[in-house]
Amino acid sequence: MTNLLTELNRRNVTRVALLYAGASWLVIQIAETVLPIFDVSMAFLRLLIILLAIGFIVTVVLAWFYDVARDDPTRHQADGPPSRRGMNLTIGVVLAAALFAFFVNQAGWIAFGNDGESAAAASTPTARSEAAAPERDLVRGVAVLPLENLSEAQENAFFATGVHDEILTNLAGIQEFRVISRTSVRGYAGTKLRIPEIARELGVSHVMEGSVRRSQDRVRVTVLLIDALKDQQIWSESYDRTLVDIFAIQSDIARQIVTNIQGELSPELYERIGNRSTTNTAAYDLYLRARSLSLSDVRSATILEEPLALIEEALRMDPGFVEAWVELVRICGGMVWWDRRQHRACAADALEQVRVLAPESPRRLLAEGVFAYRVERDYGEAFETLRSLQAELPNDVTLLEFIGYSARRLGRWDQALTAMRELIRLDPNAASRYDDLAVTLAASGAWQEGVRFARESSSRFPDNRVLPFIATDLERQYTGDLTRYADAMHRLPPELRVVYGNVWIDGVFPDHEDRRRWVAEAVRSGHALSLFSTRVEATYHLLSGNPEEARALGREGFRQMQVMVGDDWEQETILNLALLATTAADAGEGKIARRAIALHEDFVAKYPDQMMEHNHIFVLHAMARLGDLDRAWQKYESLRELGLGPTVWDLRQDAVLRFYFSGYPPYEALMTSPIN
């Protein structure tokens, strides 16, 4: 090895290679910056890099055989016999090939982007087919891939995410083609898949990729739009601007996408795209940070605390920032939905600001619909408000999501299923969309189709644990099959156990210690209240014949619940009313329990909800715990009419329901009758 390095230095190969590489890098940097200014195709840059790479191998070979570092290019004469000269030739070729491979690897990201990386992956036996999807399999549309964060400060990753999300927001109102949602494209960050493969998986004709580099008050955004059917770049641009220009950059990118895909851009659409209400970059920074956090899979109010603080700070900087007020409606509404009643005023005040600042904006209607759904739980009002926006924002998945959920709670199954299926088309890689459709199918009465769909979807998401559980739970509810239920329950992630699991189904936890650990993991995840653990312990002692222990734990649960509710119960959330009823009944506080039950039932009568949720079961438990078996049985009968209401198999397999109703004549008659 020492002899080789000595020979390389003697022949000036190292010096020539470094000089060539440095000069080539400088040429590439200049070309990458200058070419987009003159609207020169990025294909020219690719060709330039390929030529430089070829020139590199030629230069290294010449450097080995000729002394090109001096004025006299005399051929090096190898000392020794011909075999030595043959060895020199071999070394020269191998060295040149190795350096060439290194050069291409370092420069290939510019020349080929993801395609350059994935070409090698496609040649492996496990890689997917290189051929693009047939044209009939793709619809006209675009998948905007996550923008690569090239900033030296990694904390600027939120900025790249925010720019990406804002481009998608600008495209939400495009009626002429489909826009794939952010949750489905984020999995392709850093992917080695080729563009045609990504397009085929997402079912759209075009893909955009790019990068963001931010340094203090400067930002550079580079994007490429690719026709996946032809595997050909059709537009590219490199924006090198000040940070205050980021709004114009995002708008221009969205407009260029529309123009290049559909061929024209009407004046109305041009104006609508990128209409922003702030020029305060510091406030916008905070807004992007909040969005990057609040658009995650939110299943508790705790997750919303940080984005709430960020949005409030952004609005202190710019009180006229309409988009931030809309986001505040969504965040505070989510807080109320997840039982933080004190944030109701925050949501209402934010909505009023949106009404004042942007009365004609479609975002105002979106805020109205979200408020009606999450704060008022007026699903009829939410459905009508949001449905009026659908034609104007056909690619807005948040809008479509709330339309589907509202229709489902109203029992408008056809409209709910239509919305859920469209969500899957816009968001094909989000497993939660498939959960929603499977549940909606079952709630509409097509439980067998729901089971089949959940099982089929599980193969698409092998790491998802909810889809197998949904299929298994539906089979248990409608056929009594418990063979796979316990395993599916144990596999549920901690953060979803309160939403989906029932710890009292026969055979799931033969040992209470296992049940206790399973519940404790859910509480530690931050998605379940400590009250969950207390109630499980109280119920265990009740079923085990220890009524005094059960009552003592019931009083502890009631004390925990009192901390959560305010003095004005009529303004309390429906879930808190149900929990107050059941904990008061467990504690022997009959008067309080009955008042909470009455308020709960009044709310249900005012705002009917066709989806079966735990709050109804909590009320049924409270009625039975108070000894009102006739009323509890009437509640059960009414719940059977709802989507996913308790079935006969729930009565047979749920140890708590069996404990309450055992010996009650209507229950015993149902248990001995044949099951259809």
End-to-end Cα, the chain, rounded Å: 82
pLDDT at residue number 112: 39
pTM for the whole structure: 0.74
Does position 411 have pLDDT exceeding 50, yes or no? Answer: yes
**Weakest mean pLDDT among 73-87, 144-158, 325-339, 352-366:** 73-87
- Comparing 92 with 185, the larger pLDDT belongs to 185
With CA atoms as reference, report the closest residue to 172 among 399, 427, 331, 421: 399
DSSP element (H, E) containing 482 = none
**Position 43 confidence tier, pLDDT thresholds 50, 70, 90:** low
Q: What pLDDT shows up at residue 209?
A: 93
- 238 pairs with which residues across the strands? 222
| Amino acid identity at 184 | S
Torsional sign, CA 254, 258, 260, 265: negative
**Dist CA 580 CA 554 (whole Å):** 11
**What does the mean pLDDT of the chain come to?**
83
**Tens digit of pLDDT for each residue in 584-600?**
999 999 999 999 999 99
Hunting for tokens 């006739």 — which residue is that? 630
> Residue 24's closest CA among 148, 118, 111, 91?
111
- The single-letter DSSP state of residue 644 is T
Structure tokens at 16: 């020539």
Distance, in Å, from the CA atom of 554 to the CA atom of 539, rounded to the nearest integer, reads 9
Assess contact for 62 and 73: CB atoms under 8 A.
Answer: no
The token duo for 250 is 């995002």
pLDDT digits (tens, 9 = 90+) for 353-379: 999 999 988 889 999 999 999 999 899
pLDDT, one tens digit per residue, over 106-132 is 444 333 333 333 322 332 222 333 333
Query: Among residues of the chain, what percentage have pLDDT more than 90?
Result: 49
Predicted local distance difference test score (pLDDT) of residue 128: 31
**What phi-psi label fits residue 214: left (phi over 0), alpha (psi between -120 and 50 degrees) or beta?**
beta
pLDDT band at residue 11 under the 50/70/90 scheme: low
User: How open is the CA angle 104-9-98, to the nearest 5 degrees?
Assistant: 25
Question: What percent of the chain clears pLDDT 70, i.e. is strictly above it?
Answer: 82
pLDDT > 80? residue 92: no
**Among 625, 560, 631, 565, CA closest to 601:** 631
For residue 74, the number of C-alpha atoms closer than 13 Å in the C-beta half-sphere is 4
Mean pLDDT (whole number) for 381-407: 93
In this structure, of 145-149, 326-330, 353-357, 558-562, the range with the lowest mean pLDDT score is: 145-149
- CA angle 519–525–526, rounded 5-degree value: 105
What are the helix (H) ranges across 295-390? 305-317, 322-337, 344-357, 362-371, 379-387
Q: What pLDDT, on a 0 to 100 scale, did the predictor assign at position 536? A: 95
Q: What is the mean pLDDT of residues 567-571?
A: 82
The DSSP output letter for 583 is H
Question: Cα(106)–Cα(98) distance, rounded to whole angstroms?
Answer: 13
Does the pLDDT value for residue 642 go beyond 60?
A: yes
Integer Cα distance of 468 and 492 in angstroms = 9
Q: Does the pLDDT at position 39 exceed 60?
A: no
Contact criterion met (CB below 8 Å) for 219 and 245:
yes
Parallel, antiparallel, or unpaired for β 204-215 and 148-149?
Answer: parallel
Contact 372, 378 (CB under 8 A): yes
Least confident stretch, 170-174, 181-185, 428-432, 509-513: 170-174
Give pLDDT, residue 614: 62
Instruction: Pick the closest to residue 632 from 569, 585, 571 (CA basis).
Output: 585
Average pLDDT over residues 604-617: 78
Ranges 68-77, 279-288, 329-338, 406-415: which has the least confidence: 68-77
| Least confident window among 168-172, 520-524, 639-643 | 639-643
Q: What count of other Cβ atoms lies within 10 Å of the Cβ of residue 61?
A: 18
